[in-house]
Amino acid sequence: MSEPTRIPAPDGVAPAAHYSHVVMGTGRFVAISGQVALEENGELVGEGDPDAQARQIFENLRRCLAAAGATFDNVVKFTYFLTDTAHLPAIRAARTVHLADDRLPASSAVQVAALVRPEFLMEVEAFAVLPE
């Protein structure tokens, strides 16, 4: 894949603060299922702690991307599902560890009434594009 093209502010669209409006690339598409704050043995990390849950989620995403031969640099889109949008700063802090501000993918954040288990505060899915 060539370097993804990021367009943070298409003509006539307000600039994005924490994401790119458009990210384009060519290659193989990789979909990473929504990740929650479970460690490798299936135990919850960070009950009631959005920062700890976000860190675990991004570690899980890193491992899933690696299994596909990808890195965070290949991610073109994140979708964040949060039980409270007040947890967005925790997501952004965890993401910053893995991605520079000039390499941000497109993203969507959705507040949900609940996730599959009540102790999960957030879930994050990713889409990446790899070289052919």
Give the pLDDT of the chain (132 residues) as one tens digit per residue: 457 788 888 899 998 888 888 888 888 999 999 999 999 999 999 999 999 999 999 999 999 999 999 999 999 999 999 999 999 999 999 999 999 888 899 999 999 999 999 999 999 999 999 987
Specify the residue for token string 């000039």.
102
Residue pair 36/43 in contact (Cβ under 8 Å)? The answer is: no
Q: How far apart are CA 96 and CA 113, in angstroms?
A: 26
Q: What is the pTM of this model?
A: 0.90
Specify the residue for token string 């899980």.
60
